[in-house]
């Protein structure tokens, strides 16, 4: 056998590498935008900044030091300059994809920080592998603005895994629906009609407000917002506000709420305040052709019939009265069962005339 030359022995002592292979090397040089590794091959390996991180402003000298040992993936055996082109980012993505594949198969719940808020959803990164969560799967309710999720850690599951097509889909909504179902079950097991509970106003409409009770929403109808008259729920309530409400009724999974607490019921002592013969003061709240409705206090309205407005003939209330005008009248009828009170200004005027009439003496 012929003796091998030193160069031939050195060549044989060096390992062979292939594109796609994972190699381990020691950092022998690091610049702001490039890392050089001794990988035990005839040429050194290089990792440009773009193959280390998506952050193109990252200074590599702040994350890697000479002497560090690290792994990388071979992207080209010869980068055109006699060196081996390596990628740390792709290695991390491969391992991340493996983790995502296992999570997909095992229905595992993952936690990751939101890397980007996109027009159509959220992008998260798991060990270098990207997962897209469509806007429709971000929450169990429609959210127009996803910017609040930027840089926040969220939980999700993988519902579609196809790395070849670069299609890895995450789902947060499914977890929220399941969690809400558990909370709903727990909520309905402890609440009863007549309970007073705290909730958060979720949405306000023209007919009422939906209130999150922590597991289920209840409806606070406009008619239950006050003992008095509420013209616009949107002016009275705002989303996000905390409120204590009375559970008026539970029908299946529907909860009716109220702010009409018994202790604040204005009718509880109305029989004394508005007894027949009492003189009261109120505000004209609304008018019809047959009379005016006078608010004596929030939740207590009385009817001033057109025939009782004056001793003189009045064609219609608006001829002599105006909305929000304060008037004084005498209670002429009180019906607590039907919650109806009738007033008369005419009766008060007649009394005033009687009181002012001259008194004649029988004495000569």
The pLDDT tens digits along the chain (364 residues) read 445 455 554 454 556 788 889 999 999 999 999 999 999 888 899 999 999 988 889 999 999 999 999 999 999 988 677 889 999 988 888 888 889 999 999 999 999 999 999 989 999 988 878 899 999 999 988 888 999 999 999 999 999 998 878 889 999 999 999 999 999 999 999 999 999 999 999 999 999 999 999 889 999 999 999 988 888 999 989 999 999 999 999 999 899 999 999 888 999 889 999 999 999 999 999 999 999 999 999 889 999 999 999 989 999 999 999 999 999 999 999 998 899 999 999 988 866 555 554 544 454 3
Q: Is residue 73 in a domain?
A: yes
What is the spatial distance between Cα 58 and Cα 50, in angstroms, rounded to a whole number? 9
Q: What CATH number should be reported for the domain holding residue 298?
A: 2.40.50.140
Same domain flag for 215 and 150: no
Q: Note the pLDDT of residue 97.
A: 86
Alpha carbon distances (Å) from 137 to 109, 126, 144, 174, 189: 15, 18, 12, 8, 29
Please give the distance of CA 244 from its chain centroid, rounded to a whole number: 19
Can you give the pTM of this predicted structure?
0.60
Give the residue from 244, 263, 282 where a domain finishes. Answer: 263
Q: Note the pLDDT of residue 307.
A: 93
Q: Is residue 362 in a domain?
A: no
Q: Is residue 295 in a domain?
A: yes
Same domain flag for 351 and 279: yes
Q: What angle do CA 235, 238, 241 make, to 5 degrees?
A: 140
Residue with tokens 């407005």: 309
Q: Note the pLDDT of residue 360.
A: 43
Q: How many other C-beta atoms lie within 10 A of the C-beta of residue 44?
A: 17
Q: Note the pLDDT of residue 16.
A: 77
Q: Is residue 181 in a domain?
A: no
The whole domain housing 132 covers 107-175
Q: How many other C-beta atoms lie within 10 A of the C-beta of residue 222?
A: 17
91-128 as b/e: b if 16+ CB within 10 A: bbbbbbbebbeebbeeeeebebebbebeeebbbbbbeb
Same domain flag for 202 and 242: yes
Q: How many other C-beta atoms lie within 10 A of the C-beta of residue 271?
A: 10
Q: How many domains does the chain have?
A: 4
What is the spatial distance between Cα 315 and Cα 120, in angstroms, rounded to a whole number? 64
Q: Is residue 1 in a domain?
A: no
Residue with tokens 């939101």: 114
Same domain flag for 169 and 225: no
Same domain flag for 114 and 159: yes
Tokens for 87, please give them. 């990628």
Q: Are 249 and 193 spatial neighbours (Cβ–Cβ below 8 Å)? A: yes
The count of C-alpha atoms lying within 13 angstroms of the C-alpha of 81, restricted to the half-sphere facing its C-beta, is 5
Q: Is residue 67 in a domain?
A: yes
Give the residue from 175, 203, 234 where a domain finishes. Answer: 175
Same domain flag for 114 and 148: yes
Same domain flag for 303 and 326: yes
Please give the distance of CA 280 from its chain centroid, rounded to a whole number: 47
Tokens for 71, please give them. 């792994």
Give the residue from 91, 117, 144 where a domain finishes. Answer: 91
Exposed / middle / buried, residue 53 (Cβ in 10 Å: 0-12, 13-18, 19+): middle
At 37 the three-state DSSP class reads strand
Q: What residues contact residue 194 under an 8 Å CB cut-off, 6+ apart?
A: 246, 247
At 83 the three-state DSSP class reads coil
What is the spatial distance between Cα 87 and Cα 49, in angstroms, rounded to a whole number? 9
Q: Note the pLDDT of residue 359.
A: 43
Q: Is residue 214 in a domain?
A: yes
Q: Is residue 58 in a domain?
A: yes
Q: What residues contact residue 219 under an 8 Å CB cut-off, 6+ apart?
A: 208, 209, 210, 211, 254, 255, 256, 257
Pairing relation of β-strands 300-305 and 340-344?
A: parallel
What is the spatial distance between Cα 127 and Cα 84, in angstroms, rounded to a whole number? 24
Q: How many other C-beta atoms lie within 10 A of the C-beta of residue 58?
A: 14
The count of C-alpha atoms lying within 13 angstroms of the C-alpha of 98, restricted to the half-sphere facing its C-beta, is 5
What is the spatial distance between Cα 275 and Cα 225, in angstroms, rounded to a whole number? 27
Q: Note the pLDDT of residue 353.
A: 56
Same domain flag for 324 and 348: yes
């Amino acid at each position: 056998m012929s003796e091998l030359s030193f160069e031939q022995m050195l060549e044989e002592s060096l390992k062979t590498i292939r594109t796609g292979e994972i190699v381990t090397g020691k950092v022998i040089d690091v610049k702001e935008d490039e890392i050089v590794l001794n990988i035990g091959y005839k040429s050194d390996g290089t990792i440009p900044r773009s193959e280390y991180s998506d952050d193109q402003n990252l200074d590599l000298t702040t994350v890697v030091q000479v002497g560090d040992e690290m792994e990388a993936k071979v992207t080209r055996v010869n980068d055109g300059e006699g060196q081996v082109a390596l990628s740390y980012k792709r290695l991390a993505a491969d391992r991340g994809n493996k983790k995502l594949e296992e999570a997909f198969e095992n229905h595992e719940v993952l936690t990751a920080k939101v890397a980007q808020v996109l027009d159509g959803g959220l992008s998260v990164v798991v060990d270098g592998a990207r997962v897209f969560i469509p806007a429709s799967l971000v929450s169990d309710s429609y959210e127009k603005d996803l910017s609040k999720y930027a840089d926040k850690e969220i939980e999700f599951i993988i519902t579609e895994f196809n790395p070849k097509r670069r299609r890895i889909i995450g789902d947060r909504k499914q977890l929220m629906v399941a969690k809400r179902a558990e909370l709903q079950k727990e909520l309905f097991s402890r609440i009863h009609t007549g309970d007073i509970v705290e909730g958060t106003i979720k949405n306000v409409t023209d007919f009422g407000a939906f209130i999150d009770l922590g597991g289920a929403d209840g409806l606070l109808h406009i008619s239950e917002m006050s003992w008095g008259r509420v013209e616009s729920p949107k002016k009275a309530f705002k989303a996000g506000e905390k409120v204590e409400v009375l559970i008026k009724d539970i029908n299946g999974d529907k909860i009716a709420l109220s702010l009409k607490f018994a202790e604040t019921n204005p009718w509880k002592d109305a029989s004394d305040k508005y007894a027949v013969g009492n003189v009261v003061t109120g505000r004209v709240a609304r008018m019809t052709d047959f009379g005016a409705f006078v608010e004596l206090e929030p939740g207590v309205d009385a009817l001033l019939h057109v025939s009782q407005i004056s001793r003189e003939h009045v064609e219609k209330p608006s001829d002599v009265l105006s909305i929000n005008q304060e008037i004084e009248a005498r209670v002429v009828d009180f019906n607590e069962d039907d919650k109806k009170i009738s007033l008369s200004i005419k009766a008060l005027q007649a009394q005033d005339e009687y009181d002012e009439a001259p008194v004649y003496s029988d004495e000569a």
